[in-house]
Amino acid sequence: MPDANNAFVKFSNIQKTYDGEALVVKNLNLEIAHGEFLTMLGPSGSGKTTTLMMLAGFEVPTQGSILVEGRTIDKTPPHKRDIGMVFQNYALFPHMTVEENLAFPLKVRKLGRAAVETKIKRALEMVRLGAHSKRRPGQLSGGQQQRVALARALVFDPKLVLMDEPLGALDKQLREQMQLEIKHIQEDLGVTLVYVTHDQSEALTMSDRIAVFNDGVIQQLAAPAELYERPQNAFVAQFIGENNRLEGKVVAMNGATCMVEIPGAGNVQALAVTVEAVGRSTVLSLRPERVKLNPAPGSLPNIFSARVAEVIYLGDHVRARISIGAEDNFVIKLSNSGGVVQLEPGAAINIGWETEDCRALEAS
């Protein structure tokens, strides 16, 4: 985790408004370590892209400062920040060949011909496009164009690379392949990479840490497993992965756990994450894969009767939508590793889960 002594990038009390009234980014304080892969994740309008654009120099903070290696860059123009940038639309020069596109940032920096040729060759080998150096972008596939854009962002050896939804235009299989390629290249080079996406699975796959944005504020900043397993509020729980949301009222507190009354279902024992008192409304967060089907009586602290509404076969698992109490969109995921799970719509079942898998969060 970065601190004040080793932060490579530091956002200090950053605010951004376009109209002088509504804040797009609110009091942002964020530190990024050297060599870290940090993803800014959130829905449209959450402030993540504006934050990236301020770091790139294309937007100016209304308040606060941005530091790189301890030096303020607020007044440094984008072309002098020595930052590599990759966009969703690739932003390649269509009239130039692949090697000419890669040569452009090197010539702007007035490198000699021999150095330019060496760096281009190395960058093309890195993205496995050495055989395509004489082609123009229009002669390449979408995935190849994205590789060229990545190579161009890295060819001049920047210490910091920014990526804004770079895989959004690719199909699912190619996008998943490129996720791993980008991560491996980043690890091999040791470059600091800040990545913007609204795709939570992409963020979980690639990142060292994820900053979850909503309404101009970082809701939670943590490693992928921490975000998924231990969300700190209802927004993060819903946005990261699939999640069951049960609304209720706290009826008892017992140290780190609480008892929550769910209308029509009964009392649920849960971890008291951000609830503090009896009588408060709360939202329970429970991952579908943590729910067990037909547990033995007394084997779990939480066991409830339910009815199957819909069953979807998804190869390695079955996804079932069930009704529990007043909630008819409760989802469970059941592995097919021991054979296909047999469930039929309309069937009465029992479901259960452990206390530690159910998190009581603030209703707001």
Do 81 and 214 lie in one domain? The reply is yes
Do 212 and 254 lie in one domain? The reply is no
CATH at 196: 3.40.50.300
Q: Which residue has the tokens 């909630």?
A: 327
pLDDT band at 5 (very low <50, low <70, confident <90, very high): low
pLDDT band at 167 (very low <50, low <70, confident <90, very high): confident
In this predicted model, what pLDDT tens digit does every residue of 182-219 receive, in sequence order? 999 999 999 999 999 999 999 999 999 999 999 999 99
SS3 label, residue 45: coil
Do 107 and 249 lie in one domain? The reply is no
DSSP 286: E
Whole-structure pTM value: 0.90
DSSP 181: H
Do 328 and 251 lie in one domain? The reply is yes
In-domain check, residue 334: yes
Do 124 and 83 lie in one domain? The reply is yes
In-domain check, residue 1: no
H-state helical runs in 134-265: 142-154, 172-189, 200-206, 224-229, 234-239
In-domain check, residue 204: yes
Do 27 and 172 lie in one domain? The reply is yes
H-state helical runs in 159-206: 172-189, 200-206
SS3 label, residue 195: strand
Do 89 and 115 lie in one domain? The reply is yes
Q: Which of 170, 203, 234 is the last residue of a domain?
A: 234
Domain count, the chain: 2
Q: Which of 186, 203, 234 is the last residue of a domain?
A: 234
Do 216 and 327 lie in one domain? The reply is no
Partners of residue 252 on adjacent β-strands: 259
Q: What phi and psi values does residue 49 have, to the nearest 5 degrees?
A: -70, -40
Mean pLDDT of 74-100: 89
Do 187 and 249 lie in one domain? The reply is no
In-domain check, residue 27: yes
Instruction: For the chain, give the percent of residues with pLDDT over 70.
Output: 98
In this predicted model, what pLDDT tens digit does every residue of 50-67 receive, in sequence order? 999 999 999 999 999 999
**Structural domain for 341, as ranges:** 243-362
